[in-house]
Structures are given as structure tokens and as C-alpha cells.
Amino acid sequence: MIPRANENASRKEMEDLQKKMLDEKSPWAVVTYHKAYTTDMVMNIVRGLLVSIIAALFVCWILMKQNSTFGTTFISSILIGVAGYLFIPYSGHIWFQTPGATTHLVDALLSWGLCGLWLGWWLNRK
């Protein structure tokens, strides 16, 4: 986090800096360090796809244990997506004011909603 007290600062100096930043409503930043800049996205896409498939399989397993209607399956899927959104992206947003909270919410609703539509049909077909 920037700005921050010197690493050798006393507890009092750290508290004084924090009080000063709160009183002045000072700007602050979080810096993310990466060892090297890379633009290769292939492995990221593959990992993202695999994680999405595994998550969908987990949801399928949970929903298959229920004897549900189309609507219950659909709503359950959306609620699982919203729970995931609240646990990670939204928690990061409320603590660190990270951008994109709305985008993550829409992504969770759309992706898990589509999954719920498909599963609702698939699991309840006669």
C-alpha cells in the first residue's frame, strides 16, 4: 500500500500516519508486483475453461442430489453464482474499492443463469 510508514517506524509513527491519512482523506494505492510482463493468454484461457467446467460439474452434482423442478434448479444455480460473487469479488470491492463489482455481478448472474437454464431443462427432461 502506498503511502506507508517506513518499515523501521515505531508503532506511534505508524498510528500517526494512519490518523493523518484518515483526517485528510488522503488518496492511497495498492500496487501489484509481477516478476515479468507477458501477453501469452493461452494457459490463462485453458485454466479458466477448466475451472469453469469443474465448477459447473460441482453444481451439477449438488443439483442432481435434489429432486427439483426446473424453477428450483434455475434459482439454485443463480444463488450459487451470487454466493460466489459475494464471497470473492464483492468482498474485495468493499475492502479495497476494486473496480468492476457490477461487471462481476452481471457475469455471475448471466453465466450461472445460463447454466441453471440448461441444467433445469437437462435434469428435468422426461
- Encode pLDDT of 53-103 as tens digits: 999 999 999 988 888 899 999 999 999 999 999 998 999 889 888 889 999
Q: What are phi and psi of 18, to 5 degrees?
A: -65, -45
Q: Is the pLDDT at 14 greater than 80, yes or no? A: yes
Domain boundaries, the chain: 1-33, 40-123
pLDDT reported for residue 25: 83
pTM of the shown model: 0.71
- Give 32-41 contacts, CB < 8 A, sequence gap 24+: none
- Single-letter amino acid code for the residue at 60: C
Show Cβ contacts of residue 121 under 8 Å, excluding neighbours closer than 6 positions: 70
